[in-house]
């Protein structure tokens, strides 16, 4: 239970950083998508159920912040949590290449989903512009942050899982 509460607090903190702080840092060309990193990490390391649970929380936060149909981001983050949860069978804590590839695929899937349902549906066909100015910089900065955060996220979830299993308050 403690792990779930800490993870939810971490998601809320990451959301606040992503929305309120990162857009105002002048040397960042694009903002890292911390909620994608958290959703894919929790799904990839904790399984389908928890990946979808944290995907719902991340999606609801994004839906509450951005205008548009409610449930747009929730559906997207649920899918990311589910797909990455299915990949947890191939999870090895020491192996960093697969998580980086999974994060990149999740980020690209996120941006394609947004492009199709927010731009393409309104007859905006500037795919190369969107790819060059939004997708590639965001994927790169998210991968850099993934390399920085991934091991920490695994470490603290492992510690919290041990504490929960011991029943230490």
What the block records as the tokens of 95 is: 């192996």
Q: Which of 66, 7, 19, 36 is nearest to 141 (CA)?
A: 36
What confidence score (pLDDT) does residue 20 get? 93
pLDDT of 168 strictly over 70: no
pLDDT mean over 9-30: 91
**pLDDT band, very low/low/confident/very high, at 41 (cuts 50, 70, 90):** very high
Q: What's the predicted TM-score (pTM) here?
A: 0.91
Residue owning tokens 């998580």: 99
What confidence score (pLDDT) does residue 62 get? 96
Query: What span, in angstroms and rounded, lies between the C-alpha atoms of 51 and 56?
Result: 9
pLDDT of 124 strictly over 80: yes
CATH of the domain at 100: 1.10.1760.20
What confidence score (pLDDT) does residue 166 get? 81
Domain span holding position 13: 2-166
CB 94 within 8 A of CB 20: no
pLDDT of 169 strictly over 80: no
Query: What span, in angstroms and rounded, lies between the C-alpha atoms of 50 and 56?
Result: 10
Helix (H/G/I), strand (E/B), else coil: 79: helix
pLDDT of 90 strictly over 90: no
CB 118 within 8 A of CB 51: no
What confidence score (pLDDT) does residue 146 get? 93
What the block records as the tokens of 59 is: 């999606």
**pLDDT band, very low/low/confident/very high, at 92 (cuts 50, 70, 90):** confident
What confidence score (pLDDT) does residue 125 get? 85
Q: In the chain, how many domains are there? A: 1
**pLDDT band, very low/low/confident/very high, at 50 (cuts 50, 70, 90):** very high
């Amino acid at each position: 239970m403690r792990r779930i509460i800490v993870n939810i607090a971490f998601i809320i903190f990451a959301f606040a950083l992503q929305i309120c702080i990162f857009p105002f840092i002048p040397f960042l060309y694009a903002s890292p998508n911390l909620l994608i990193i958290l959703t894919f990490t929790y799904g990839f390391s904790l399984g389908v159920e928890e990946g979808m649970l944290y995907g719902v929380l991340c999606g609801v936060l994004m839906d509450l912040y951005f205008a548009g149909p409610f449930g747009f981001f929730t559906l997207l983050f649920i899918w990311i949590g589910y797909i990455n949860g299915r990949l947890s069978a191939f999870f090895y804590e020491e192996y960093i290449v697969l998580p980086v590839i999974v994060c990149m695929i999740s980020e690209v899937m996120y941006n394609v989903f947004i492009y199709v349902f927010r731009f393409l549906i309104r007859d905006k066909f500037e795919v190369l512009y969107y790819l060059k100015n939004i997708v590639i910089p965001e994927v790169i900065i998210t991968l850099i942050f993934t390399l920085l955060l991934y091991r920490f996220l695994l470490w603290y979830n492992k510690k919290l899982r041990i504490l929960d299993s011991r029943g230490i308050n």
